Amino acid sequence: MNPYVVPTLVVVTLVTVGIGLYGLRFARTTSDFLVASRSVSPAWNAAAISGEYLSAASFLGVAGLVLKYGVDVLWYPVGFAAGYLALLLFVAAPLRRSGAFTLPDFCTVRLHSPGLRRLATVFVVCIGCLYLVPQLQGAGLTLATVTGSPYALGAVVVGVVVTANVALGGMRAITFVQAFQYWLKLTALAVPVVFLLMQWQADGRPAVTPPEPTFAVATTVVVENDATLTLPDGTTEEVRAGTVLTYEPGDPAPQVSGVDARHGLDWLLPGDPGAGDRGLFATYSLILATFLGTMGLPHVLVRFYTNPDGASARRTTLVVLALVGLFYLLPTLYGVLGRIYTPQLLMTGQTDAVVLLLPEAALGGGTTGRLLGALVAAGALAAFLSTSSGLLTSVAGVLFTDVLHGDTNGTARRGSVRDFRAATLLAASVPMALSLGVSGLDVSQVVGLAFAVAASSFCPLLVLGIWWRGLTDAGAAAGVLAGGGAAMLAVLMTVAGPPLSGWPAALLGQPAAWTVPLAFTVMVVGSLLTRARVPADVGATMLRLHAPEIALKKL
Partner 1 sequence: MLAQAANREPPAEPAGGQTPVTAALVRGLVRAQLALALRMALVVVVGLGGLPLLFVVAPDVGQAKVVGVTLPWLLLGAAAFPFLVVVGLAYVRLAERNEQDFAAVVARERDR
Residues interacting with partner 1, by CB under 8 A?
Answer: 71, 74-75, 78, 81-82, 84-86, 88-90, 93, 99, 109, 112, 268-271, 280, 283-284, 287, 311, 314-315, 317-318, 321-322, 325-326, 328-329, 332, 409, 411, 467, 532-533, 535-537, 539-544, 546-548, 550-555
CA distance 431 to 283: 27
Sign of torsion, CA 395 396 400 404?
A: positive
DSSP 337-357: HHHHH-THHHHHS-GGGHHHH
Give least dist CB 535 to partner 1, A: 7
Q: What are phi and psi of 231, to 5 degrees?
A: -85, 160
Q: Which one, 71 or 197, has the nearer CB to partner 1?
A: 71
Kindly state the DSSP code that residue 27 receives in the 8-state scheme.
-
Beta strands 236-239; 255-256: pairing state: unpaired
Is residue 396 within 8 A of residue 424, CB to CB? The reply is: yes
CA distance 492 to 449: 10
Give least dist CB 297 to partner 1, A: 18
137 to 60, 390, 449: CA distances (angstroms): 11, 17, 14
Is residue 442 within 8 A of residue 61, CB to CB? The reply is: yes
Give least dist CB 362 to partner 1, A: 19
Q: Which one, 311 or 425, has the nearer CB to partner 1?
A: 311
Residue 213, preceding peptide bond in cis (omega within 30° of 0): no
Give least dist CB 466 to partner 1, A: 9
Query: What is the Cβ-side half-sphere exposure of residue 398, based on CA atoms within 13 angstroms?
Result: 31
Q: Which one, 217 or 547, has the nearer CB to partner 1?
A: 547
How much of the chain is in helix, strand and coil states, percent to nearest 5? 75, 5, 25
Give least dist CB 184 to partner 1, A: 20
Q: Which one, 317 or 389, has the nearer CB to partner 1?
A: 317
Q: Which one, 408 or 424, has the nearer CB to partner 1?
A: 408
Give least dist CB 463 to partner 1, A: 9
Q: Which one, 55 or 108, has the nearer CB to partner 1?
A: 108
Give least dist CB 467 to partner 1, A: 5
Give least dist CB 137 to partner 1, A: 25
Element (H, E) at 255: strand 255-256
Q: Which one, 32 or 407, has the nearer CB to partner 1?
A: 407
Q: Which one, 365 or 539, has the nearer CB to partner 1?
A: 539
